Every structure is written in C-alpha cells, then in structure tokens.
C-alpha cells in the first residue's frame, strides 16, 4: 500500500528511464534572485524559451535590504542581482512579487500564504528550504541552478525516487514548547546526515495538533538532517488555512479539490524504509551548541564531552569556533544579538508569540534584537494587530521582509565572535557573517533571552 509521498510522486511520473530514474512533472516553480540568473542565461544560450511561464512565481528575498526597501538598493552587486531578476521576469512574462509588491517576501512564506502551495502538488525552488511547503501535503524540494534551467525548459526533472521515512511524534507537548523545539530535538537525534536519501513524513498526534505555521517550521528543517523533503498529510487544519487564500480554488473548484486532498494520506499498512518514534513529553526547549543543526541539546543539558559523541574532532573544532566548552550548560550564556526571522520562524504566529512575551518588558541593554517578518503580508498583519508597537516599545527592531541575517547575504550580519540566538535554521561557521557564533532556538526562547540579555529557560521564567 502506498505512502502519501508515493501517491504524489507516482502520479507525477511522465516517463521512466532504463536506469530506473523517473521523469517527474513539476507543478509549481518558485524562483528568487540568487539562484536563477545563471538558469535564465543558460536558456538564452541554448535559444530555448520558458516552457510554462505561468507555473513560475518569482520574488526577491535572499539579497534584499530589510531597511528602506522603497529606496534603490545601495549595495551594487545586490542591486544588480535583483535588477537581473526583474529584467528576466519582464522579458519572459513571469509573475514577480519583487520589492514594493504587496506580496513580496521569503519565497517559502509567500507560496503558502497566497494559496499557491497546495496539497498533492510537486513544487521546486532553487533553495534547500523548499521542504517547507511539504507541510501542506505536497512533494516539495530544493534544486540546483541546472535543475532550475531544466524545469524552465521542460517543466520536468530526472530524479531517482528517494526512500521513505516516517517520524511519529505522539502525545502532548509541555507548555511553551514549540515546533522549533520539536525539529531541533529530532535533528539532534538523527544528526545532520540521518535523513540523507529519504523523504520524511511527519505523523502522529502531536503533529496533527500543530498549526500550519508550526508544521511549516518542522518541514522546513528536514534538509538539516539531509532529507530532500518533509511532508505532512493534509487535514482540516490544512484545508481551513488554504480556504479563501488569494490563489486557492474557489466555489465548486474548492469542493472538488477538497475531495482529492482528502485522499492524500499514507495507507494504514503502507511501509516505510525507516521509521522513528518520539514522545512529545520528552521534548524541552532546544538549543544548538555546535556548528551544524544536528548539534543540539535540551536546555537542561550540558554540552557533551568528546567521549559522548561519534565525531570528537568535529566537536572540538565546533566548540573552538563557538568559544564554548564541554560540560557547561547554555543557560546563562550572555548574548548580544537576537535574530527572529527566516523561512523557519518569521510567520505571523511567530511574531505573535514574541510580541505576547515582550509586551510591557524591555530588552536587555546589551542586546540588539532584530525581528524580520517573512513577507509584506506578515508585516501588514503584524501592524494591523499592533504588534509593531509592542515590539518597538520593548526595544525590538521590526524590519522589512527578507532572508536577512539567516544567511548574511545583505547588510544584516552578526559581527565576528558574537553570539546570536537565532530562530533561523543553520548554525554553520560564518553563516550569519564571518566569525559569527549562531545558537539556534525557538522564537520564545529568543524573545526571553533578548529580555534577559543571556540565554534563559522559558519554563523557569513562566513557572
């Protein structure tokens, strides 16, 4: 019997190669300014047109400033890259939600919030966090620029079908534990390569109880375990989220779509190549201490010793970079930077959680707290709810949408040697700027730590 992933993958096979690879049809293709220019150039060189321009949606996010977006981009190379996207979209008649557009934002935030991302689809983007869209019960994964060109030319990719993995999480989460803690917990168990070669389905009562925003946070970080994608079976929560979104099917079409979407689940006796089981009650606020997202600990734990890990060399090197030591806890570590944003945690729900906590509080004087909404829609919603006022009163700087300090392509960088408690997805060396030391955590842990000026366990504060 078929898994959810099999159902979608198999209905998108156009042809099979003798080698066993599949030619897979792609329903939606998101593009952005950083990984698309060479694909457009490649097509031009071959003299090929865009095959299905209506299936491509473009936005500018990776390389845009998060202040004064109404002004021309001051950094020359960034401006050129964004201008190249504008020109390529214009020449090829592709829908662009660029700077100044009411729909602009991080590509993995805008697809879902516009109702472009829907159950049963195959979705690709030249960005590894395309796995985010899997929260809607679609097969979504990141691709390289050569593959962007292939999809532009033929709407298809030649792929080997990944193996399937199911991660079951059962039970009720402790108070103040969020989706970010769940996925950092799973990553700390599976490690940064534990999902490589697999497509992960997240299932179980804990997942069923999560909002769409939370499900996106989980699927988003599937790639941090090496998995090409993550997927969650669509249910009433999904259908309710999609209904009424700008590009969602309407009227009779919606009803028809609903009938189909309801068939998208793994059959009872479907078999997976690998399966894991976790208990929600075991999950605490999670933090990373090292230089890959699998190097995480529960907030009550201490940084492991070399004898306790599989890769002692990597641990030593990571800790030297991070300026940390084995055997110490992270709680109490002074931090000067907090970044709340990225395709992992920049949605309205994240901003609400942060605003609710920091209301009538003041950030510590040593902390610079940057909060970057995932999209113009999120920004507008936050303002409509008065969250901007609350955040600003607490000393948090609400910026304009973009990928920002998650990858430090624009001006939003963390200085060398400084700790940043970040709600983003990667803590690699130099990820947030050369020499920057990233500690990944949930929006609530980030907010509470910004107020305290050091890392705190939210449970001891809220108890």
Partner 1 sequence: MEKFNTIQSSAVPLPIENMDTDQIIPARFLKATTREGFGDHLFRDWRYKADGSPNQDFILNNSVYKGEILVAGKNFGCGSSREHAVWAIYDYGFKVVISSFFADIFKSNALNNGLLPLVVSDDFLHLIFTEIEKDAATKILVDLKQQTVEIAHQQTVFEIDSYKKMCLLNGYDDIDYLLTLKDKIEQFEKEQVLF
The full DSSP string for 135-160 is GGS-EEEE--HHHHHHHHHHSEEEEP
Q: CB of 297: closest distance to partner 1 in angstroms?
A: 17
Q: CB of 184: closest distance to partner 1 in angstroms?
A: 16
**Residue 209: exposed, middle, or buried by beta-carbon count in 10 A (0-12, 13-18, 19+)?**
middle
- Rounded distance between C-alpha atoms, residue 144 and residue 149, angstroms: 9
Q: CB of 196: closest distance to partner 1 in angstroms?
A: 6
Please count the CA atoms within 13 angstroms of the CA of 278 that sit on its side-chain side.
25
Element (DSSP H or E) covering residue 207: helix 205-208
- Rounded distance between C-alpha atoms, residue 410 and residue 122, angstroms: 30
Residue closer to partner 1, measured from CB, 122 or 178: 122
Q: CB of 138: closest distance to partner 1 in angstroms?
A: 11
Q: CB of 183: closest distance to partner 1 in angstroms?
A: 16
Q: CB of 338: closest distance to partner 1 in angstroms?
A: 20
Q: CB of 162: closest distance to partner 1 in angstroms?
A: 8
Q: CB of 13: closest distance to partner 1 in angstroms?
A: 9
Structural tokens at position 7: 């159902």
Residue closer to partner 1, measured from CB, 150 or 345: 150
- Rounded distance between C-alpha atoms, residue 162 and residue 314, angstroms: 28
CA angle 375, 376, 379 (to 5 degrees): 90
Helices (H), 323-457: 348-358, 376-384, 387-393, 443-452
Residue closer to partner 1, measured from CB, 126 or 441: 126
Q: What is the dihedral of CA 82, 88, 89, 92, to 10 degrees?
A: 180
Residue closer to partner 1, measured from CB, 215 or 228: 228
Residue closer to partner 1, measured from CB, 160 or 366: 160
Residue closer to partner 1, measured from CB, 23 or 209: 23
Give the C-alpha distances (Å, rounded to integers) separating 219 from 157, 200, 228, 313.
22, 9, 10, 30
3-state secondary structure at position 244: coil
- Rounded distance between C-alpha atoms, residue 434 and residue 414, angstroms: 8
Q: What are phi and psi of 22, to 5 degrees?
A: -110, 145
Give the C-alpha distances (Å, rounded to integers) separating 120 from 9, 107, 117.
9, 19, 9
Q: CB of 21: closest distance to partner 1 in angstroms?
A: 6
Residue closer to partner 1, measured from CB, 425 or 449: 425
Q: CB of 379: closest distance to partner 1 in angstroms?
A: 23
Residue closer to partner 1, measured from CB, 160 or 300: 160
Other CB atoms within a 10 A radius of the CB of residue 269 amount to 7
Residue closer to partner 1, measured from CB, 38 or 168: 38
Beta-strand pair 122-125/22-25? unpaired
**Beta strand extents in 293-404 (DSSP E only):** 296-298, 337-340, 368-371, 396-398
Residue closer to partner 1, measured from CB, 229 or 373: 229
């Amino acid at each position: 019997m078929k898994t959810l992933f099999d159902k979608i993958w198999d209905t998108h096979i156009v042809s099979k190669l003798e080698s066993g690879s599949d030619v897979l049809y792609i329903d939606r293709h998101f593009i952005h300014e950083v990984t698309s220019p060479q694909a457009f150039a490649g097509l031009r060189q071959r003299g090929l047109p865009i095959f299905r321009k209506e299936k491509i949606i473009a936005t500018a996010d990776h390389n845009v400033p998060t202040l004064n977006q109404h002004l021309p981009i001051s950094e020359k190379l960034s401006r050129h890259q964004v201008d190249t996207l504008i020109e390529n979209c214009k020449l090829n008649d592709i829908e662009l939600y660029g700077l100044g557009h009411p729909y602009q934002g991080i590509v993995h935030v805008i697809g879902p919030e516009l109702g472009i991302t829907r159950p049963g689809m195959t979705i690709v983007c030249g960005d590894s966090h395309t796995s985010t869209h899997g929260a809607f019960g679609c097969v979504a994964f990141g691709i390289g620029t050569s593959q962007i060109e292939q999809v532009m030319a033929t709407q298809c990719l030649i792929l080997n079908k990944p193996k399937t993995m199911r991660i079951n999480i059962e039970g009720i989460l402790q108070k103040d534990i969020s989706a970010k803690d769940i996925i950092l917990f799973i990553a700390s168990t599976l490690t940064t390569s534990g999902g490589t070669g697999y497509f992960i389905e997240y299932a179980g009562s804990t997942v069923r109880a999560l909002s769409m925003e939370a499900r996106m946070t989980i699927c988003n970080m599937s790639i941090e375990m090496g998995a090409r994608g993550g997927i969650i079976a669509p249910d009433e929560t999904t259908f309710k989220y999609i209904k009424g979104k700008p590009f969602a099917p309407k009227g009779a079409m919606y009803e028809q779509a609903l009938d189909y979407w309801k068939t998208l689940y793994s059959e009872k006796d479907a078999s997976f190549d690998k399966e894991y089981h976790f208990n929600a009650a075991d999950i605490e606020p999670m933090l990373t201490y090292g230089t890959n997202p699998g190097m995480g600990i529960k907030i009550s734990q201490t940084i492991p010793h070399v004898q306790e890990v599989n890769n002692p060399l990597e641990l030593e090197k990571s800790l030297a970079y991070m300026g940390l030591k084995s055997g110490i806890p992270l709680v109490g570590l002074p931090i000067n930077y907090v970044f709340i944003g990225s395709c992992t945690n920049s949605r309205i729900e994240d901003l609400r959680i942060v605003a609710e906590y920091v209301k009538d509080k003041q950030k510590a004087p040593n902390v610079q707290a940057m909060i970057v909404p995932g999209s113009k829609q999120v920004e507008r919603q936050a303002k409509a709810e008065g969250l901007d006022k609350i955040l600003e009163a607490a000393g948090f700087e609400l910026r304009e949408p973009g990928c920002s300090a998650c990858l430090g392509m624009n001006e939003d960088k963390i200085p060398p040697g400084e700790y940043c408690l970040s709600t983003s997805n990667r803590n690699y060396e130099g990820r947030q700027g050369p020499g920057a030391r990233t500690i990944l955590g949930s929006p609530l842990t980030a907010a509470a730590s910004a107020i305290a000026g050091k890392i705190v366990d939210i449970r001891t504060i809220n108890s």
